[in-house]
Amino acid sequence: MGKFDKYKIDLKGMQADSCKYEFVLDNLFFANIDGPEVQKGKVNVELVVRKTSRAFELNFQTDGMVWVPCDRCLDDMEQPVSSTDKLLVKFGHEYAEEGENLIVIPEDEGIINVAWFMYEFVALAIPMKHVHAPGKCNKAMSSKLRKHLRTTPDEEEEDAFIPEDDVLTEEETETPIDPRWNELKKILDNN
């Protein structure tokens, strides 16, 4: 059995007019799918498939938590995700994505694998800007990053909103407390 076999929905073999599936997307799922946005998480997906005269309607309700790097300090942070998405699936000669959520699958197979679609729904549910709650950032990292990113007007403006307890004293900035600081420094020095 392949890693993603359990996400195959047999539309052709569907007996009832409506069918319900539940999936839990866990760390193993995200590791297997190996997408760029999410590597870890625990997300529940409820999928209701409805057969209509012209197509299959797949309604996904996605709720859970993913761990993604914080924009400000790069440490992982918990990001709640919640999304409602719909796919329409029709039978045709060969696989095609027609428009944003209309999928054509070969009629002789009649099966759609929803693993990647579910991954995309999760990835798209992550807000563009995601940061730790005030004061929860890795202080050494965020301070270094701020200094090096302080080149665009946008960043200058955002600095104004950083709560005071996020700002470091001189002493703290002199002490690299996180081993990743060295890795970051290497990257920054090379640029």
Binding site for Zn ion (CB under 5 A): 70, 72-73, 132, 137
> Which residue, 77 or 105, is less far from Zn ion as judged by CB?
77
Q: Find out whether 60 and 122 touch, Cβ atoms under 8 Å.
A: no
- Give the position of tokens 């760029």: 36
> Which residue, 106 or 176, is less far from Zn ion as judged by CB?
176
> Which residue, 72 or 144, is less far from Zn ion as judged by CB?
72
Helices 139-149 and 179-190, interaxial angle, to 10°? 10
* E strand intervals along 11-165: 18-25, 40-51, 56-69, 76-92, 96-97, 102-106, 111-113
| Contacts (Cβ under 8 Å, ≥6 apart) of 157 | none
Distance in Å, CB of 58 to Zn ion, minimum = 36
Distance in Å, CB of 122 to Zn ion, minimum = 20
Distance in Å, CB of 151 to Zn ion, minimum = 20
Closest CA to 55 of 89, 26, 18: 89
Q: Among all residues, whose Cβ is closest to Zn ion?
A: 70
> Which residue, 69 or 92, is less far from Zn ion as judged by CB?
69
Residue 38 backbone zone (phi > 0: left; psi -120 to 50: alpha; other: beta): beta
Distance in Å, CB of 161 to Zn ion, minimum = 14
Distance in Å, CB of 181 to Zn ion, minimum = 14
> Which residue, 66 or 105, is less far from Zn ion as judged by CB?
66
